[in-house]
Amino acid sequence: MKEKMGTTGLIFNEPLLWEKGSPGRKGLSLPRRDVDETSLDESLAGDGPDFPDLSELDVVRHFTKLSQWNFGVDSGMYPLGSCTMKYNPKTNERQASIPGFAGAHPLLPESLSQGALALMHDLQGYLGEITGLPAVTLQPAAGSQGELTGMLIFSAYHKNKGAPRTKVLIPDTAHGTNPASAALCGFKAVPVKSGPDGVLLPETVAELMDEDTAGIMITNPNTLGLFEHNIRKVAAIVHEKGGLVYGDGANMNAVMGIVNIGDIGVDVLHLNLHKTFSTPHGGGGPGAGPVCVTPELEPFLPVPRVVKDGDTYRLDENCPLSVGKVHAFFGNFGILLRAYSYILSLGKHLKEVSQYAVLNANYIKEKLKGHYHLPYDRPCMHECVFTDKRQQEHHVATLDIAKRLMDHGFHPPTIYFPLVVSGAIMIEPTESESKETLDQFIDAMKQIAQEAVDCPDCLHESPQFPKVRRLDETAAARNPCLRG
Amino acid sequence: MKAISELKLPEDVRYTDDHEWAKKNGNVVRIGISDYAQDQLGDIVFVELPEVGSTFDKGEEFGTVESVKAVSELYMPIGGEVTAINEALADEPERVNSDPYDSGWMMEIKASDPAELEALKSKADYLEMLKG
């Protein structure tokens, strides 16, 4: 296709549901009553919730129109750095809708849930094999909750040794949720500055690591998209002082099947199934953030644990050192199922996922580095980070570049993150995109760089094509309107 | 964003490496963030400040400032006890952007060691650091 992908079309306005419909209108007919009418206890009576009265068609059109204002991976490339917005194969949905799984209830007895338990048991095994950390819990519902579980394990481990610790080291290139997770567990987050090449220096860690420090939380590859090549040395320094190493596995898409996380010295790692293992990100959920640990830390994993006795599967609650439950029942089972489908669909080709993800990011980096400032010019992993330094002389900022990308039919990349890079533009194409799509994206970015020189105001006034134009993000943050 | 030559850097305040400023104001020391810091952060939407009466050492985190781009920590230029905070910032955080040294001040402290103030950067030193 030669034309720019973004174009204009007929877009519908749509009011709130409360402004639609009319009193008494119904979306469905209840079946004829087959029990006698009885009076209701007055204490149970009261006003119902304020729901609008709508027909089925009112509702269908409402949400169809809203979906047309939206943008997702199914509509176009979504290079949101650090979020791994890869395509979610439709076979995952097909497997998840198998009636035996879709209709399973968490309170069914173990004897009637053998299939679901077998799937969870096998998935734990696969994730253990992929990461090299063989003991796995599937319970956490998100990456952040996986981090929290990991920090609870840090805390339980040191308490069990009889010497609780108070601090956790967190590099400036780690994910932003890391310090929050540590703080929630009562640890003081101690920032660690990365070296001039954007990676951790062992000597910096050695200076800060002491016997009151529970361990370190490392994102590898880090948020600059760079592999922490000193990880083994860093892990040895932390272990020597009795600390543990937490790996933020949110960037696992770069190293799956290539790096054995256990071998490089990581003790605890969370995975984001909704990133690396192609389950939907949804509207902020549900996600899944399984945690993989070394055999030594297995006793601390949340309960219940799925175990196999001979040919049958059961749930084990008898783990006295466990950090307890972190989610109702067994986590987001429907999401686990989709990840299982993805792993079995790809099999030995899982490794190629990471190889293509890294290749795609490096392709974009090489093609765009003549047009945008590249703060760390070395091979990247699954994402690359540019800045607006060259565009600033034309008074064009990262935000303008991101907004203009929408007009070209692309979701904007992650911006102003990582914080260690001023005006960061963080691009993660994932393995899903073909070379043709990558070329279209590169071409759009080049056009925007040219436009920054020729017509800065065109960028300040972008986006031009979407349903809503430039939003006032400052007003939205200062005076948020949280009611419909 | 502003060029370095466009920055407002008053002579009568002292600066830190983390872009806070401190200024002696009678018996207390007033603290805020520099014009460079507010310009880098962009539109500020929330300023989180400690309670009056809290005590911090030099370099300790005393609060956070949230802009549309990021949340950043604020560090004590010198140690001391908080005697007042700028209540107006709760409703008008934009004052930090428009007037960082005056109506956009953040808090006042009773310095535990007034000599610490002298150790902070002068305008010339701070400007030198910004020029890199």
- Find the angle CA(A332)-CA(A334)-CA(A339) to the nearest 5 degrees: 95
Measured CA to CA in angstroms, residue B97 lies from A43, B16, B104 at distances of 54, 18, 7
CB proximity A479 to B under 8 Å? no
Residues of A in contact with B68 (CB under 8 A): 473-474, 477
Phi, psi dihedral angles at A427 (to 5 degrees): -110, 125
The answer to whether B66 contacts A477, with C-beta atoms less than 8 Å apart, is yes
Identify any residues that bridge with A249 across adjacent strands, giving them in sequence order: A271
The answer to whether A473 contacts B40, with C-beta atoms less than 8 Å apart, is no
Nearest-by-CA chain B residue for A475:
B45
Residues of A in contact with B46 (CB under 8 A): 477-478
Q: How far apart are CA A319 and CA A283, in angstroms?
A: 35
- A265 φψ region: left (φ > 0), alpha (ψ -120 to 50), beta (else): left
Q: Which of B40, B43, B70 sits opposite A474 (nearest CB)?
A: B43
CB proximity A389 to B under 8 Å? no
The answer to whether A478 contacts B69, with C-beta atoms less than 8 Å apart, is no
pTM: 0.90
Would the pLDDT of B128 be above 80?
yes
**E strand or H helix at A219, and its extent?**
strand A213-219
Identify any residues that bridge with A309 across adjacent strands, giving them in sequence order: A312
Q: How far apart are CA A86 and CA A72, in angstroms?
A: 10
**What pLDDT does residue A7 have?**
83
Look-up of token digits 């987001």: A332
Q: Which of A416, A473, A474 sits opposite B70 (nearest CB)?
A: A416
**E strand or H helix at A192, and its extent?**
strand A188-192
Q: Which among A211, A272, A273, A256 is positioned nearest to A237, based on CA atoms? A: A211
Nearest-by-CA chain A residue for B66:
A477
**What pLDDT does residue A349 have?**
96
Q: Which among A350, A353, A414 is positioned nearest to A384, based on CA atoms? A: A414
ipTM of the complex: 0.79
Q: What does DSSP assign to residue A107?
A: T
Residue A145: both structure tokens together: 């909750």
Cα A131 from chain centroid (whole Å): 17
CB proximity B45 to A under 8 Å? yes
The answer to whether A392 contacts B1, with C-beta atoms less than 8 Å apart, is yes
**What pLDDT does residue A272 have?**
96
Q: Which among A79, A73, A81 is positioned nearest to A416, based on CA atoms? A: A81
- Beta-strand ranges (E) seen in B5-113 are 14-15, 20-25, 28-33, 44-48, 55-56, 61-67, 71-75, 80-85, 107-111
The answer to whether A477 contacts B69, with C-beta atoms less than 8 Å apart, is no
Residue window 53-82, chain B: list those with CB within 8 Å of chain A. 66, 68-70, 72
How deeply is A379 buried, as exposed, middle or buried, from its count of CB atoms within 10 A (0-12, 13-18, 19+)? middle
* H helix count then E strand count, chain B: 4, 9
CATH number of B10-127: 2.40.50.100
**What pLDDT does residue A455 have?**
96
Task: Please report which residue ranges of A161-286 form alpha helices under DSSP H.
Answer: 177-184, 202-208, 231-240, 273-276
CB proximity A261 to B under 8 Å? no
- Find the angle CA(A190)-CA(A192)-CA(A198) to the nearest 5 degrees: 155
- Give per-residue pLDDT as tens, B77-108: 999 999 999 999 999 999 999 999 999 999 99
The answer to whether B69 contacts A416, with C-beta atoms less than 8 Å apart, is yes
Strand order in the sheet with B80-85: B14-15, B20-25, B28-33, B107-111, B80-85, B55-56
Q: How many CA atoms does the CB half-sphere of A469 hold within 13 Å? A: 6
CB proximity A170 to B under 8 Å? no
- Find the angle CA(A44)-CA(A49)-CA(A51) to the nearest 5 degrees: 145
Q: How far apart are CA B69 and CA B45, in angstroms?
A: 10
Q: How far apart are CA A92 and CA A475, in angstroms?
A: 40
Look-up of token digits 């002579």: B11
CB pairs under 8 A between A and B: 23
In order along chain A (484 residues), what is the average pLDDT of each group of 10 residues? Answer: 79 92 90 91 88 94 92 94 95 95 94 97 98 98 96 98 97 92 95 93 97 97 93 98 97 96 98 96 80 98 96 96 95 95 97 98 98 95 96 94 96 92 95 97 98 96 92 89 77
Measured CA to CA in angstroms, residue B75 lies from A143, A174, A480 at distances of 29, 20, 28
Listed by start position, the domains of chain B span 10-127
